[in-house]
Copies of this chain bind each other. A is one copy, B any other.
Amino acid sequence: MTQPIYFFAKDKTEGNATMKELLGGKGANLAEMTNLGIPVPPGFTITTEQCAEYERLGGKLPEGLWDETERYLARLEDEMGMKFGAADNPLLVSVRSGAADSMPGMMDTILNLGLNDESVTGMATKAGNDRFAWDAYRRLVNMFGNVVMNIGHDAFEAAMRELKYETNKKEDTDLVTDELRELTRRYFAIFEQQAGRPFPQDPREQLKLSVEAVFKSWMNPRAIKYREINKITGLLGTAVNVQAMVFGNMGQTSGTGVCFTRDPSAGENVFYGEYLINAQGEDVVAGLRTPDPISRLESELPDCYAELVRYRDVLEKHYRDMQDIEFTIQEGRLFMLQTRSGKRTPPASVKIAVDMANEGLIDRETAVKRVKPEEISILMHPAFDPDAAKSTIAVGLPASPGAATGRVYFTADKAEEHHAKGEKVVLVRRETSPEDVGGMHVSEGILTAVGGMTSHAAIVARGMGKCCIVGCSQIDIADDHKSFKTESGASVREGDWISLDGTSGEVYAGEVSTIPPKLSGDFDAILAMADEFRTLKVRTNCDTPEDAKKAREFGAQGIGLCRTEHMFFGEDRIWAMREMILAENVDAREAALAKLLPFQRADFDGIFRAMDGLPVTIRLLDPPLHEFLPHEREAAKKMAEKLGVSVDDVITKVKLLSELNPMLGHRGCRLGVSHPEIYRMQSRAILEAAYDVKADGIDVLPEIMIPLVGTVTELEMLRDDTMAVYEELKAERGGPIDFLVGTMIEVPRAALTAREVAGAAQFFSFGTNDLTQMTYGFSRDDIGTFLPTYLEKDVLPEDPFASLDTTGVGRLVEMAATEGRAGNPSLKLGICGEHGGDPASIHFCAKVGLDYVSCSPFRVPVARLAAAHAALGVG
Contact = CB atoms under 8 A, between A and B. Distances in A.
B666 A663 contact: no
Interface string A663-677: 111100010011000
Interface in A393-432: none
A752 B773 contact: no
Given A664-B663, A777-B710, A785-B666, A795 B673 contact: yes
A453 interface: no
A790 interface: yes
Interface stretch (A36-44, A109-117, A135-143, A803-811): A803-811
A795 B721 CA distance: 14
Contact of A662 (B660, B805, B809): B660
A796 interface: yes
Contacts of A673: 786, 789-790, 793, 795
A782 interface: yes
A58 B710 CA distance: 33
A208 to B, nearest CB: 37
B661 A711 contact: no
A747 B805 CA distance: 14
A778 interface: yes
A78 interface: no
A808 B708 contact: no
Contacts of A812: 748, 752
Contact of A666 (B674, B711, B786): B786
Contacts of A660: 662-663, 779, 781-782
A274 interface: no
Given A664-B779, A774-B775, A775-B749, A713 B786 contact: no
Nearest to A675: B789
A666 B782 contact: yes
Contacts of A710: 776-778, 808
Interface in A658-699: 659-666, 670, 673-674
A240 B67 CA distance: 102
A752 B773 CA distance: 14
A774 B710 CA distance: 11
A752 B800 CA distance: 15
A753 interface: yes
Contact of A749 (B663, B711, B770, B808): B808
Contacts of A717: 793, 795
A605 interface: no
Nearest to A790: B673
A714 interface: yes
Interface in A789-839: 789-790, 793-796, 805, 807-809, 811-812
A666 B777 CA distance: 10
Interface centre among A713, A774, A805 (most CB of B within 10 A): A774
Contacts of A779: 659-661, 663-665
Q: What is the count of identical protomers in the complex? A: 2
A749 to B, nearest CB: 4
Interface in A266-293: none
Contacts of A659: 779, 781-782, 785
A860 B846 CA distance: 50
A189 to B, nearest CB: 41
A796 B748 contact: no
A746 B748 CA distance: 13
Contacts of A811: 752-753
A158 to B, nearest CB: 36
Could you say which interface size class chain A belongs to?
35 or more
Given A660-B782, A663-B664, A777 B713 contact: no
Contact of A748 (B774, B790, B807): B774
A749 B674 contact: no
Nearest to A778: B664
A673 B787 CA distance: 11
A665 to B, nearest CB: 4
Given A777-B710, A793-B717, A794-B713, A808 B752 contact: yes
A777 B661 CA distance: 10
B666 A664 contact: no
A662 to B, nearest CB: 7
A773 B770 CA distance: 13
Interface string A739-765: 000000011110011000000000000
Nearest to A676: B793
Contacts of A809: 749
Contacts of A752: 775, 807-808, 811-812
B749 A782 contact: no
Contacts of A664: 661, 663-664, 773-774, 777-779, 782
A796 B710 CA distance: 10
A753 B753 CA distance: 18
Interface centre among A665, A747, A789, A790 (most CB of B within 10 A): A665
Contacts of A662: 660-661, 782
Given A661-B781, A774-B777, A777-B774, A795 B714 contact: yes
Contact of A805 (B749, B777, B778): B749
Contacts of A749: 775-777, 805, 808-809
A259 B603 CA distance: 72
Nearest to A713: B795
A572 to B, nearest CB: 28
A809 B659 CA distance: 23
Contacts of A774: 664, 748, 774-775, 777
A711 B797 CA distance: 11
Contacts of A666: 782, 785-786
Interface string A717-755: 100000000000000000000000000001111001100
A708 B752 CA distance: 20
Given A661-B661, A674-B789, A793-B673, A747 B777 contact: yes
B665 A807 contact: no
Contacts of A807: 752-753
Interface centre among A746, A775, A807 (most CB of B within 10 A): A775
A666 B659 CA distance: 18
Interface string A304-338: 00000000000000000000000000000000000
A462 B661 CA distance: 40
17 contacts: A659-B782, A660-B662, A661-B661, A663-B777, A666-B786, A670-B790, A710-B778, A710-B808, A711-B808, A713-B794, A747-B775, A748-B776, A749-B775, A749-B805, A749-B808, A753-B808, A753-B811
Top 7 A-B pairs, shortest CB-CB distance: A664-B779, A661-B779, A749-B808, A660-B781, A665-B782, A659-B782, A747-B777
Interface of A: 657, 659-666, 670, 673-674, 708, 710-711, 713-714, 717, 746-749, 752-753, 770, 773-779, 781-782, 785-786, 789-790, 793-796, 805, 807-809, 811-812
Given A659-B782, A664-B779, A753-B808, 12 more contacts: A659-B779, A660-B779, A661-B661, A661-B663, A664-B777, A666-B785, A666-B786, A670-B786, A674-B789, A749-B809, A752-B807, A770-B777
